[in-house]
């Protein structure tokens, strides 16, 4: 098990915290950690300022390695990098098709507004399906069949260009 030591200032003194890798991975996945470290190392390689005060002896010890510096910054939680996790969008609920029998029952119960909504959605679905069919036909009609290029064709084009010049 790996331990991560973070040194933080607390009331004028230094406070050491022990964080296991598992605790750190509760916040970020290993892929997010890799992405954060890579992005910060790139920034440091392009002369971004170091966010920690590191003594010159320590810098010499790590041989000014930007990845090690990025790790030290990450472990001390001073990086101004955030992670936005995309969440799946809510799927639109589709209303099931209603039989004529169910429509008649709804009419009896006074659900005229619901019936109109169902009919409107069915009409929209039909329009969308018709558009899709039309687009597919256009693609079939206008689509080119691409053949493999032959070296002879390329040579002919080059000769025609040279003759024109």
pLDDT band per the 50, 70, 90 thresholds, residue 144: low
The pLDDT of residue 41: 94
The pLDDT of residue 44: 94
Helix axes 112-142, 100-109, angle to 10 degrees: 140
The pLDDT of residue 140: 77
Q: Which CATH number fits domain 3-75: 3.30.420, 3.90.940, 1.10.3470, 3.30.2310?
A: 3.90.940
Q: Is the pLDDT reported for residue 93 higher than 60? A: no
Torsion on CA atoms 98, 100, 103, 104, rounded to nearest 10: -160
Give the Cα separation of 118 and 94 in Å (integer): 10
The pLDDT of residue 6: 43
The pLDDT of residue 159: 79
Which of the pair, 19 or 74, is modelled with greater confidence? 74
Give the Cα separation of 77 and 8 in Å (integer): 9
Name the percent of the chain lying above pLDDT 90.
Answer: 21
Residues with Cβ within 8 Å of 3's Cβ and at least 6 positions away in sequence, in order, are 18, 19, 20, 21
Place of tokens 């440091």: 44
Give the Cα separation of 47 and 22 in Å (integer): 32
Q: What is the pLDDT of residues 3-57, one digit of tens each?
A: 444 444 444 444 444 455 556 667 888 888 899 999 999 999 999 999 999 999 9
Which of the pair, 2 or 115, is modelled with greater confidence? 115
Cβ atoms of 75 and 5 closer than 8 Å:
yes
Delimit the domains of the chain by residue range: 3-75, 100-142
Tokens of 6: 């973070």
Picking from 109, 37, 101, the residue whose alpha carbon sits closest to that of residue 73 is 37
The pLDDT of residue 63: 92
């Amino acid at each position: 098990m790996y331990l991560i030591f973070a040194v933080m200032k607390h009331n004028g003194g230094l406070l050491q915290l022990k964080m296991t890798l598992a605790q750190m991975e509760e916040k970020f996945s290993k892929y997010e950690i890799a992405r954060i470290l890579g992005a910060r190392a790139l920034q440091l390689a392009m002369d971004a300022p170091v966010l920690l005060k590191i003594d010159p002896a320590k810098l010499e010890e790590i041989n000014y390695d930007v990845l090690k510096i990025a790790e030290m910054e990450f472990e001390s939680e001073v990086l101004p990098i955030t992670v936005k996790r995309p969440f799946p969008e809510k799927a639109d609920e589709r209303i099931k098709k209603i039989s004529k029998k169910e429509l008649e029952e709804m009419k009896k119960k006074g659900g005229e507004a619901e019936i109109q909504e169902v009919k409107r959605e069915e009409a929209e679905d039909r329009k969308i399906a018709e558009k899709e069919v039309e687009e597919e036909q256009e693609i079939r009609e206008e689509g080119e069949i691409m053949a493999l290029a032959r070296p002879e064709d390329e040579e002919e084009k080059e000769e025609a260009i040279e003759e024109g010049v």
